[in-house]
Amino acid sequence: MRQRIHKYISVAWVVLLASCGTSLEDNKRNIYNVEVRDVNDTALENIEINVAIFRGMTNVGTEFPLRSFLGFVGADVTDNQGQASVLSLSLGPDNTRSLPYVVINGDEQVSGFFMDNTTFLNPEYGSIAYEVRRTEGNEVFLPAVTLKRRATLQLEINKADVTNDTLIYTLDYEKDVQLFQLGTEQQDVLEQIQGNVQTAGEVVQTQVRTLQNTLAMFTYILRNNGDSTPISIEIPITQENQVYEFSF
């Protein structure tokens, strides 16, 4: 219930922010230098990079980002070295609540409220966005970006008819859309789902969007009469469609 209220407030906030215009600065351009490689350190060519303006609170990593998309101000593609110098327009000095985002292989949804609806311009790879502070100046060098291939992880939990245990579980995994703040230490952007299985003979199936060459973490507690220690299992994501089955 609380989450739902939070969600409605977030949507109202986004609509309110989006209804106000934002000006761009005359006589000014910025450049964002980007280098994109895959996990084998091979340069990725023709990866689209967009510079978008979002307005709203900075809350990278939270469940409900209170940001609204205002528009694109720059676009380019990587060359055969995997590099691009993206020319961008600049925000006006009075727009203190708006920030530019460098979006690699994603569209306007990537940093906003409807992040899960992101269109991947190259559907084989995930998307990464960097929020750029105004203090960065008019030429910005982003850290080397490693794009990982997308994958789906299907988790299947089977409860045997004979057990009375209740399974409480969480699944932590890397999303295929990741958001970082430039200048802060990069961290894996983990997403978490949780649930429980208590009915005898029940089969729970869930599917999440993640990235290859990452680790998902399945953590569970089997609860009968008392608490028990959580147990974690690493699930390496090594293929496009990864299936993990757990029975108890």
Say whether residue 88 binds other proteins (CB under 8 A): yes
Shortest approach of other proteins to residue 183 CB, angstroms? Answer: 18
Contact call for residue 89 and other proteins (CB under 8 A): yes
User: Could you tell me how many residues of this chain bind other proteins (CB under 8 A)?
Assistant: 31
- Judged by CB under 8 A, the residue of 29, 187, 203, 245 near other proteins is 29
Least distance from other proteins to the Cβ atom of residue 40, Å: 28
**Token pair for 47:** 């990866």
| φ, ψ of residue 143 in degrees (nearest 5) | -65, 155
Nearest to 77 by CA among 64, 87, 66: 87
Residue 69 interacts with other proteins (CB under 8 A)? yes
Q: Does 147 bind other proteins (CB under 8 A)?
A: no
The residues, ordered by sequence, that sit 6+ positions from 208 with a Cβ below 8 Å of its Cβ are 152, 153, 155, 171, 173, 191, 193, 216
129 binds other proteins (CB under 8 A): no
Cα-Cα-Cα-Cα torsion 60, 191, 41, 32, nearest 10 degrees, comes to -20
CB of 8 to other proteins, least distance (A): 20
Interface positions, 42-61, toward other proteins (CB under 8 A):
51, 53
Choose among 49, 55, 86: nearest CA to 69. 55
Q: Which two tokens stand for residue 95?
A: 């727009």
Which positions lie near other proteins, rule CB under 8 A?
Answer: 18-31, 51, 53, 69-76, 86-89, 108, 138-139
